[in-house]
Structures are given as structure tokens and as C-alpha cells.
Structure 1
Amino acid sequence: MVKVLVFGSFDLLHEGHKHFFNEAKKLGDSLHVVVARDSSINSFKGHQPKFNENERVEHVKKLGIADEVRLGYEGDKWKVIEEIKPDIIALGYDQDSYTKGLEKGMLDRKLKVKIVRLESYMPEKYKSSLIKKSID
């Protein structure tokens, strides 16, 4: 069974996120979504998300695409990867900054995971930062 893992903040879910989840799911047998903690978003992006971490988990679950949706761990991004043991990590087209050191970290931990970058879906329309600006 091929496990696919994706991760992100998934605040203000939109069609681009749905497309991302569906494309990631096609890569394997099960899709595991890790939703970033509020504290991680605050330290990484410098602001709190519109929806708290538990609400964001519920929003992703309600889509009915993922086989598992869970929160990441505070301070240890590797723990969830080690627990899920994915065969593939699918990255969004815009997840460059999230993934710095991902390949090296996997090698250091002897994790054999294929990393796949997925194509964008209408980024001129469905991009979280654009949607956030339009509602602020």
C-alpha cells in the first residue's frame, strides 16, 4: 500500500487545495494530510491563521478526500513523518520555503521517501494569499 503525505496550513480552503489533495491521492493508495499547528504558522508566516488548527483539521476532513487528517507536532516536524512512514511526500508548487532541508533531513534519518512536486491549479485565482487579501 502506497502512502502519500501532504502538509500545509490549509487555512481558507479553496479549489486549489482540493485539486492538490486529489492529485496527491492519485499518487498512491492512501492520502495523509498533516495540518500545521497555529504556533508553527505564526512563527513561519508571522501571523495567526484565520481558522484555528482544530477548525482547519475539520475543514480538511469535511472534504472527504484524505484517508487521514491530523495535526503536526509542536517543534518536531519529523515525528509525524516517522510515524506515518509515507512512500511519497507530495509538495505544492509554492511550498519551497516549507521544504528547505527536507531531502537532507530524510537522508539523515534514513527515510526512503520519494518527493514529488505537484502542478499549480489556477494560481492567479486560487492562491491563499490572494484570497486572504480579498477578505481582509
Structure 2
Amino acid sequence: MKRIVATGTFDILHPGHLFYLEESKKLGDELWVIVAREQNIKHKPLPIVPEEQRLKMIQGLRCVDHAVLGDTVDMYRPIAEIDPDIITLGFNQKFSEEKLITEMRKRNIRAEIMRIGDFSGCKFNSSTTIIDEAVKRRCEK
């Protein structure tokens, strides 16, 4: 059985998230999703949707077999526990693939890293775009 891990914040679910997860699922038999914890998000604004609610939404997607919250201390702990064959990254995730591989090898995690391409199938394919449009529409009234 080929196990895939996808990770992300998944604030305000949109078609870009679904594309990322469906493309990840195509790479194997079992898709695990690690949802970022609020306290670990340092590279962008904190999500609007609380982590437990984001987790619940991801768990409800047909393409997702298992979803868990990330670890608050060691981001590699759930990856080691899941022991995936492949870890997918979204096109806009800021991880350095080389650094990720180096850190995983130190922990004896042998997963391959694959980056999923961009989704441009609709106007609202990012949480930021949705938030910006909502603010614009609500504040102009």
C-alpha cells in the first residue's frame, strides 16, 4: 500500500485545496493530511478558521482517508508515525525541499517529496483572494 501525506493550513477551503488533495491522492492508495496548528504558523497571517474546524472540514473530503492536526513541538513526529512513501507540497508552500529531505533523513524518514502544480480553474482559488474579496464587498456597502 502506497501512503501519501499532504500538509497545509487549509483556511477557508476552496477549489485549490481540493485540487491539491485530489492530485495527492492520485499518487497512492491512502491519503493522510496533516493540518497545521495555529501556534506553528509563522510564515503568514494566522488562519481565520480555528484548527479543530479546519481539521473537521478536511476529514469530510471524499479523497482524504485520514486527517490529523500537526504536532505542536516537532513537525516531523506525525510524518514519522504515518511513515509515508510520498509527501506532497502545494505549489505555494514555502518549504525548501532540500532542507525537508535533510531533516527527514536525520529522523530515518525515507519519503519522496513531490510538488503539486498550481490550480487556476477559477477566480477564488486561494484563501487570501476570498478574504480580500469578502472585505471589499462588505466594506463598500
Match of 1:130 in 2: 129
Shift of 1:44: 3.1
CA–CA distance in structure 2, aligned partners of residues 9 and 122 of structure 1 = 19
Per the alignment, residue 90 of structure 2 pairs with 92
State the structure with more CA Rg. 2
Structure 1 stretches of at least 4 aligned residues deviating more than 6 Å after TM superposition: none
Could you tell me how far apart the structure 2 residues matched to 1:129 and 1:98 are? 22
Question: Residues of 2 paired with 1:40 and 1:123: CA distance?
Answer: 30
Gaps of 5+ in 1: none
Cα distance between partner residues in 2 of 1:111 and 1:93:
22
More helix by share: 1
Distance apart, 1:70 and its partner CA? 0.6
- TM-score normalized by structure 2? 0.87
With the length of structure 1 as denominator, give the TM-score of the two structures: 0.90
Identity score, percent: 35
1:121 to 119, 122, 138: 119
Q: Which residue of the other structure, out of 48, 52, 55, is the alignment partner of 2:53?
A: 55
Q: Structure 1 residues 5 and 39, CA, compared in 2 at 3 Å: closer, same or farther?
A: same
State the shift of 1:35 in Å.
Answer: 0.3
Corresponding residue of 2:11: 11
| Whole-Å separation in 1 of the counterparts to 2:97 and 2:13 | 21
CA displacement 1:48-86 (0-9 Å, x = unmatched)? 311100000011112222000110010210101110000
Distance 1:61 1:120, change over 3 A: same
Q: Cα gap change, 1:123/1:129 in structure 2, threshold over 3 Å: closer, same or farther?
A: farther
2:24 counterpart residue number: 24
* Alignment partners' CA distance in 2, 1:100 and 1:113: 13
Structure 2: gaps spanning 5 or more residues:
136-141
Please give the secondary structure, in 2, of the residue aligned with 1:44. coil
Paired with 1:60 and 1:53, the residues of 2 have a C-alpha distance of 11
